[in-house]
Amino acid sequence: MLGFRAPQRLPFIAATAVLAAVASIAVVGAFFEPFNVTYDHRALIIGGKRRMLISAGVHYPRATPEMWPGIILKCKEGGADVIQTYVFWNGHEPVRGQYYFEGRYDLVKFVELVGSSGLYFHLRIGPYACAEWNFGGFPAWLRDIQGIEFRTNNGPFKVEMQRFVSKIVEMMKEEMLFSWQGGPIILLQIENEYGNIEGSYGEGGKEYVKWAAEMALSLGAGVPWVMCRQTDAPETVIDTCNGFYCDAFKPNAYKKPKIWTEDWNGWYASWGGRLPHRPVEDNAFAVARFFQRGGSYNNYYMFFGGTNFDRTAGGPFQITSYDYDAPIDEYGLLSEPKWGHLKDLHAAIKLCEPALAHVYSNVPVKMNERLPKNLNFCSAFLANIDEHKSVAVKFFGKDYTLPPWSVIVLPDCKNLAFNTAQVGSQISIKTSSPLLSCYSNTTAPGNLLLAAKDFSVSSTWMAFSEPIGIWNSNSFTTQQILEHLNVTKDASDYLWYITRINVSGEDITYWKEKDSHPALTIHNIRDVARIFLNGQLIGGTYGNWVKLEQTLQLVQGSNELALLSEAIGLKNYGAFIEKDGAGFRGPIKLTGFKDGEIDLSSFPWTYQVGLKGEFVKIFAPEETGKVDWTILQPDKMKTPFTWYKTYFDIPEEKVTIALDLGSMGKGQAWVNGHGLGRYWSLVAPKYGCPVTCNYRGAYNENKCLTNCGKPTQTLYHIPREWLQASSNLLVIFEETGGDPLQIKLKKHATVTICSQVSETHYPPLSSWHNPERFTGNISFDKSQPEMHLHCDDGYAISSITFASFGTPHGSCQYFSKGKCHAQNSSFVISEACLGRNSCYITVSIKTFSPDPCRGIVKTGNKERYFMVHNMMAAYLRFYLFYRTVAYFVLFFFYIFYY
C-alpha cells in the first residue's frame, strides 16, 4: 500500500498559467462543420454516425460566467460529450415582455463556450424546469394573467408558453447555435416530467401533451425534441427516462433511442434536513447497466450543481447550496473519487462504442467457449446484480470475478478495462479552514479586521434596525386576509400583515381571575410566520401549511398585532403550483376573550411588502449610505430584525472562499451587492446517518445520509469574481438574533488526498489507446496498474506522510503498515510526486523492488494533507471473492466479418 500527507501548500505556476489561458477562450464563428442530428432505435445519429453520449448537467445561473470555462473544461476532462441545462424563464423574463440575458443569465455566451470547447449541447427549454428552482422556473407574473391555469390545455397559458419557447428557439437560430448551422445544440426538450402529474388534469393534460409537441416541432429548430418521463409522448418526440436507475426503461416506440435525461447521481437538501450522498460505485453500476441494456445517452443530474444565489432556491425550504453531491462541487473543485471513477467508466464505454453503436441482437453464448476469430467488434458487459454474493465467471475461456452489485467492462471481450465496484480514483477530503491572517488597509468604521489566527470579525460591525411593520407610504389597508403572493408578486420574501386589537378593562380582569391569557390561532401558514405584539417579537413557526397557536400578553387599550409572512422559495414541483401560493390560509382568530372567540379575518389589515433595507438596497455599495448606520454596541448584540455591515480585505492567493454563517440565525447575505442567498441555521435530526454506507443494493435519497445533528448549511459560496482586493462590503440581514462577531471567511480546499491500489487492479484506460494494442504487440496480462494523483489547479504536492507498498491496513487518514512493507515506499513516491501538480506510480514489484514478501498480493497506499489547495489521491479496494454461485447477467456485442 502507498500513502502520504502534506501540511504545506506550494503554488504551481504552470497550472495557474493554464487556468488563465482557459479563461480567455475566444468565441467566434462556427464551432463545427454543420451536421444533422437524427436517430434510430439504437442511438442519436450525429452527422451520420451513431454515438454513445455522456452528458454533464450544468445550470448556468448557478455559477458565474467567470466560472463557466473551468467547469466546462472539467466536464470535458471527465469524459462528457454534451452539456445539458434547463432554461430559466423567470430569470430571463422577470417582467412580462422585458427580457434579460446578461451576467449569470447570458445563455448565448454559455452555449458558445460549450461549443468552443468542442462539446455538444442539450437545451431543455421546458419552459417548466422544476430543478428545485423558485416557482419551478415560472415567472410570478404568469399567475396573474386572467383565466390562466398552468400546464394544461388552457389558452392563456399556451399563448405565454409558446411565446417564450419561440423566443429561445429564434435566439438560438439567430446566433447560429443549432448543429445544422455549425453550432453545438443537438437536442431540445419541451415540458418536463409532465407524465408525473398529467393525470391530475384529465383530458386537458392529454391534449396539452399533444399541443406542446406540435408547437415545439412547428418552430423549425432542426434538431430532435425530447419529453422526459412522458410515456404518451407523440411519435415525433423522444420520450426519455429520469431516475436513479434507467436500465429497464424502454421508449414508447421502437424507432426511438434509449435516453436517460436525468441520472440522479446525488440529491438536493432542504433546511433542517440531512445531506444525501450517493456512492460512486452504485452510480457507476447504474450507468454501466444502462449502456449494457441498450442505452445510448446518459446525462448526470448534476455533474456540477452550483449555488442558488439571491432568492432562486425553490420551495418549500430548498437550501442555498445546490452541490448535489456532484462530481464537481459548488465551488468548482473536483469531488473525488466520484469524478475520477466516472471518468474511467466513460473512457471504458467509449472503447465499446464501435460495438455498442451498431444495430445488434442479443446472441446466447456459452461461457466456456473460445472467442470467435471472425469478430470485427466485440465488447462485453458482465453484471452481477446480487447485493451480497460475488460470482466467478468463465467467459470465452477466461476467468473473471464479479463482486456483488457490479459490472465489469471488456471492450474487446477479453481484457478487463473497468469494474464499477473497484474504485481506483483518488479520494478528496475537503475542509473549510480560516483564511491566512491579513489586515484591512482601510480605516473607516465598520471594517472587517482580521484576527491573528483566522479571518474573523472584530467589533467594527455597524448596525441598522429594520422597522417593524409599516415603513413606506405604499402600504395599503383592506378588510380581508390577502394571499401572500398576490400581494408581493415575489418581489420580496416578506409581507407584513398589521391590525389593531382593542382590549377592555373587563377582559383584563377576566384573564386575571382565570389566570389565563388570550391566544392567536392561524389555521394554515406557509413557510414562516413571525408574530410581533406592540413592536416586540413574541413567537412564530415554520412549515408547509401548518397550524400556528401563540399566547398573547395583551394590554388594556389598543394593541398592534403585526404578522410577518416569509416565503422560503415558491413551490417548484407538482400539479397546480400556481394555486399553492404562500402566507396564511383559513381564519385568523383570537380565543380566550370574555365574550368569546374573535375572528380577525374581516378586521382592517394594513399590508406592507418587503423590508426597508431590502428596497432601499442598503446591501449595494452605492446605496448603503441611505440609512443611518450605528456602530454595533455590545448591548445591541443578538437583536432580531437587524441589518449588519462591515468591510473586509482578502488575501492575494487565489483560493475559493466561503462565508461561515454558523453563528447566525436566519436571513440573507450580500457581498458587494451580490446576493449570496438565504441562510438558516436549522439543525438536522441527530439520527439516520449510518457510520458506513454500503453501496450495494438499490439507492434512494434516504440512503447514505450524512451531517446528522448539525446545521444543514453553514458555509456560503462567495465567487471570487465578486471580490476585490480590499474594502469588500458584507451586509447581513438577521431575523432572529445571531452573533455577527463570530462570522468568518474561510477557504474551501482539498486538504487530504489518499490512494489505495492493488497489484491486481486493471491497467490504466490510457493503455487501450496505444495503436500496438490492435497488432497484438501489447499484452494486457503484462500491463501494470497505475496510481494517478493530482492537486487542485495551481498547486503542487508538498509532502508525503504515509507510504507503504505491501499489506497496509486501514483507510484514508487512518492507514498503518502491515507485516509486509517495502522499505523504499516513501522514497519512490517522493521521487515521483513531490513538487508536482500531478504524478503517477506504477504499482508493481519492479517499481518498489526488492519484493518485500514473495507470493503475497501487494497494495499501494498513500495519504497526504494540504492546508489550502490540494490534491487527493486515488483509492481502490481489492476484493477477494470465493467462487460461489450468484445471480449474474451477461451481455455482449459482436459484429461478424461479411
Rg (the chain; Cα; Å): 30
Our CA angle for 874, 879, 882, nearest 5°, is 170
Distance of CA 75 to the CA centre of its chain: 14
Rounded CA-CA distance 432/747 in Å is 5
Q: What is the DSSP string of 346-365?
A: HHHHHHTHHHHTS-------
For 471, half-sphere exposure in the C-beta direction (CA atoms, 13 angstrom radius) is 17
Rounded CA-CA distance 449/452 in Å is 10
Length of the chain equals 898
Q: Which of 191, 198, 262, 566 is catalytic?
A: 262
Residues 891, 381 contacting (CB under 8 angstroms): yes
- Which regions of 264-352 does DSSP assign to beta strands (E)? 297-304
- Residue partners of 850: CB distance under 8 A and separation at least 6: none
Place of cell 396564511: 584
For residue 262, indicate whether it is catalytic: yes
Residue 333 — φ and ψ, nearest 5°?
-95, 150
The continuous run of DSSP H or E covering 289 comes out as: helix 280-292
Cell readout for 290 is 444502462
SS3 865: strand
The residue among 105, 333, 452 whose CA lies nearest residue 870 is 333
Angle of the 155-174 helix axis to the 107-116 helix axis, nearest 10: 40
For residue 193, indicate whether it is catalytic: yes
Q: Mark residue 323 as left, alpha or beta (left: phi above 0; alpha: psi -120 to 50; beta: remaining).
A: alpha
Q: Which of 93, 160, 191, 193 is catalytic?
A: 193
- Residue partners of 544: CB distance under 8 A and separation at least 6: 316, 317, 526, 527
Rounded CA-CA distance 792/873 in Å is 11
Cell readout for 388 is 451480497
- The torsion defined by the Cα of 772, 777, 782 and 786, in degrees rounded to 10, comes to -10
- Residues with catalytic roles: 193, 262
